[in-house]
Amino acid sequence: MWKGFAHLLKKDIGLMVAGKFFLLALLSLTLYSCYINLVYVNLDQGTYRVYLYDPQKMYTGQSAFITTVNSRQELENVCSDSASVGIDVSGDAPEIYLLSSATATADHYRGLWGRAVLTGLEEEEETEIVGAYDKEQKSRREITAEFLFFELSAVGFLGLASIVFKEKQMGVIRVHGVLPVHKAAFILSKLSVFLVSDLIFAVLLTWLNVGIADSFMILPAILVQAGILSLVMALTGFLCAVWLPDFKQFSLFYLILAVFVTTPVFLAGQTGVAWDWIVFHPMYHLFAAVKSAYFGVRTSSVLYYFVCIGSIALLFYAAYRILAREMAKEG
């Protein structure tokens, strides 16, 4: 019954090559890596700048945070970005001038910061550092986890579905109904091809962006999470592709998934916003697991793995039943 499995695998790989799947994956890999290495790691938010207008040259201190300006007008101009603090010491009492950032607490802090810089800050004292990564390592891990999640959840889903639609058009499902190949083999061959290609993608993305030496210890955990995500998404893609009559209707699901399902997860991950309802979002847990894997934190509970395996089994069963129904429908 499983004799034709190798042939099925060969056919699926052939279809992926013909559909330029590997080329697209390679292009995405290059694009993501260029973005991470050239742009993302260099992004930073600098300390609030302090501009000083001091015509009588009363200020004698030295501070790297202070820039002097020559007129009140110039002071108001440079402080128009709501992230700078202006200090005017030309009057009787020194005046702090700032454009509100619309957050009262942040404005208050900027005022205090301006005063402290003007009255003199001492050498920075030792602060307790509890994290294991510096800013660059953290940025690399964080954004690589986000790109991997996005690639596997949105793009992988589309890849498998496009192959199934192509096969549907070619009448492959009808032919399979009369072939002595088990229906499960039809699903399994696709799953394994996508799983392996997703895992290779995950390894390459991690090596290129986190570094081979740095990713040595975390790679097994990343592969486990990438495997789970890949299986869940591939099975969902397969299910939708077999179930929905045409690619246009499928693209509806894709649209909803890509824009409105992954965006809240992405925002919650990037900004650390505490949304209570996000725990009911199934993709959030998958995302959190991928991210934890990149930071070498073991947060996932036994329940998480149990639910994942259960969902994969359930999706597989649903895919199997729907494929059987489609084959029966096709005669």
Tell which positions 280-299 bind other proteins, by CB under 8 A.
291, 295
CB 311 → other proteins: shortest distance, Å? Answer: 25
Comparing CB distances to other proteins, the nearer of 79 and 185 is 79
Cβ-contact 8, 186 below 8 angstroms: yes
Nearer residue to other proteins within complex by CB, 256 or 279: 256
C-alpha distances (whole Å) from 118 to each of 55, 73, 146 are 15, 20, 41
The size of the interface with other proteins (CB under 8 A), counted in residues, is 78
Q: State the minimum distance, in angstroms, from the CB of residue 294 to other proteins.
A: 9
Q: Report 32-71 residues binding other proteins (CB under 8 A).
A: 39, 43-48
- Per-residue x/- track, 158-197, other proteins (CB under 8 A): x---x--x--------------------------------
Q: Which residue in 170, 273, 279, 309 binds other proteins (CB under 8 A)?
A: 273
CB of 184 to other proteins, least distance (A): 27
Subset of 142-161 contacting other proteins (CB under 8 A): 142, 158
- Contact of 85 with 111, CB cutoff 8 Å: yes
Distances in Å between the Cα of 272 and the Cα atoms of 191, 221, 265, 266, 278 are 33, 23, 10, 10, 11
Using CB under 8 A as the binding rule, the residues of this chain from 101 to 140 that contact other proteins are 101-103, 105-109, 111-113, 115-116, 119, 121-122, 124-125, 127-135, 137-139
Among positive and negative, which fits the CA dihedral 287, 290, 294, 298? positive
SS3 88: strand
Q: Is 270 in the site for other proteins (CB under 8 A)?
A: yes
Q: Which stretch binds other proteins (CB under 8 A): 208-216, 221-229, 258-266, 316-324?
A: 258-266
Q: Are 52 and 118 in contact (CB under 8 A)?
A: yes
Q: Which is nearer to other proteins, 94 or 177 (CB)?
A: 94
Task: Give the three-state DSSP class for 68.
Answer: strand
Min CB(229)–other proteins separation in Å = 19
Minimum CB–partner distance for residue 108 and other proteins (Å): 5
Please state the closest distance from residue 331 (CB atom) to other proteins, in A: 26
Cα separation, 244 vs 242, in Å, equals 6
Give CA–CA dist 146/139, Å, rounded: 11
Using the rule CB under 8 A, give the single segment among 180-188, 231-239, 262-270, 305-313 that binds other proteins. 262-270
Task: Name the strand (E) or helix (H) holding 329.
Answer: helix 302-330
**Burial class of 11 by CB neighbour count within 10 A (0 to 12, 13 to 18, 19+):** middle
Measured distance CA(160)–CA(21) in Å, rounded: 9
| Choice between 1 and 298, CB closer to other proteins | 298
Q: Is the dihedral of CA 284, 285, 288, 293 positive or negative?
A: negative
> Where in 226-245 is the site for other proteins (CB under 8 A)?
none
From 97-105, 177-185, 206-214, 216-224, span contacting other proteins (CB under 8 A): 97-105
Q: Where are the alpha helices (DSSP H) in 258-301?
A: 262-271, 282-294
User: Token pair for residue 10?
Assistant: 């060969």
| Span interacting with other proteins, options 184-192, 217-225, 269-277, 310-318, rule CB under 8 A | 269-277
* For other proteins, the closer CB: 199 or 258: 258
